[in-house]
Amino acid sequence: MLEAFNILSASRPVTMSGPGPIPLSEVYAYCQMFGIDDPDERHDLVMLLQAADAEYLAQVRAKG
């Protein structure tokens, strides 16, 4: 999951107010690229990535 987060982190939008969350479309593309076809695995990956991403964004904003 950490590898997926690091890869997908580069796909996040950046605005004048800072980085945004990793788009769900990018997670879908990641699953397609790496052959993650099982719906339960995709769901778990999305949940873990969104939790990690929320923590990352909270830390970035706290430093801001």
3-state secondary structure of 15: strand
Q: What angle do CA 8, 24, 3 make, to 5 degrees?
A: 25
Q: Spell out the residues 6+ positions from residue 51 whose beta carbon is closer than 8 angstroms to its own.
A: none
Q: Where are the alpha helices (DSSP H) in 10-38?
A: 24-33
Residue 54, Cβ density class (10 Å: 0-12 exposed, 13-18 middle, ≥19 buried): exposed
Where are the chain's structural domains?
Answer: 2-63
Average pLDDT, integer, range 17-39: 97
**pTM for the whole structure:** 0.89
- Amino acid 64: pLDDT: 73
- Amino acid 46: pLDDT: 97
- Amino acid 24: pLDDT: 97
